[in-house]
Chain A
Amino acid sequence: GIQVEQSPPDLILQEGANSTLRCNFSDSVNNLQWFHQNPWGQLINLFYIPSGTKQNGRLSATTVATERYSLLYISSSQTTDSGVYFCAVGPLGTASKLTFGTGTRLQVTL
């Protein structure tokens, strides 16, 4: 099946810093989502982005489907950004099968 790799696995930032999280995947996809998992376990939808670029406030994401990677940018980080960020992909030609990476654990300190 499709492989999803996220990097870095762990990241510690001071408040106000910027960061880039990366998601590499091993096959063509027709679905790619970024999620933030808060300390209570809730998965918050950040972006649905199988291709192209989107922005939402301090967050933006870019997916280059032909090169099989996606990037999540966090600017001016805040302590509330702490948590685990997951990339999940749906391989082309398969139905309803989101495969998750192992996540990037982000800690933002004062």
Chain B
Amino acid sequence: DGGITQSPKYLFRKEGQNVTLSCEQNLNHDAMYWYRQDPGQGLRLIYYSQIVNDFQKGDIAEGYSVSREKKESFPLTVTSAQKNPTAFYLCASSIWQNTEAFFGQGTRLTVV
């Protein structure tokens, strides 16, 4: 089945630890994105990548890092510098920039 797979669904970490969220797609899409959603809010863009080995900061990139070494993979690392990391994280992809975006099922990160 073609789609976007995020893992894990739920993640618990202690404060001060870095954590990496996985996002894989088999849709052959060039563009990939990471969004953050807080309770009762819309989604905010963290990072996006339009092509392998290239990525750009979104609106709330501080405390996060990404890599794009393969077309199908766009992992997100939440670093200890992120002040409020507890949130719902969603990964998306699209054929190219500004075409229809499709989302994975999300990862709920809780930092205690």
Contact = CB atoms under 8 A, between A and B. Distances in A.
A66 B103 CA distance: 28
A42 B98 contact: no
Interface residues of B, number: 29
Interface string B54-82: 00101100000000000000000000000
Interface string B17-60: 00000000000000101010100111111001010000010110
Interface of B is mostly: strand
B103 A43 contact: yes
Interface in B73-112: 88, 90, 92, 94, 97-103, 105-106, 108
A97 B45 contact: yes
Interface in A71-110: 86, 88, 90, 95-103
Contacts of B43: 86, 88, 98, 100
Contacts, number: 62
A18 interface: no
A31 interface: yes
B31 A96 contact: yes
A41 B105 contact: yes
Contacts of A102: 40-42
A42 B105 contact: yes
Interface residues of A, number: 24
Contact of A98 (B56, B101, B105, B106): B101
Interface of A: 1, 4, 30-31, 33, 35, 40-43, 45, 48, 86, 88, 90, 95-103
Given A95-B98, A96-B31, A102-B42, 9 more contacts: A1-B59, A41-B108, A42-B106, A88-B42, A95-B56, A95-B97, A97-B45, A98-B43, A99-B45
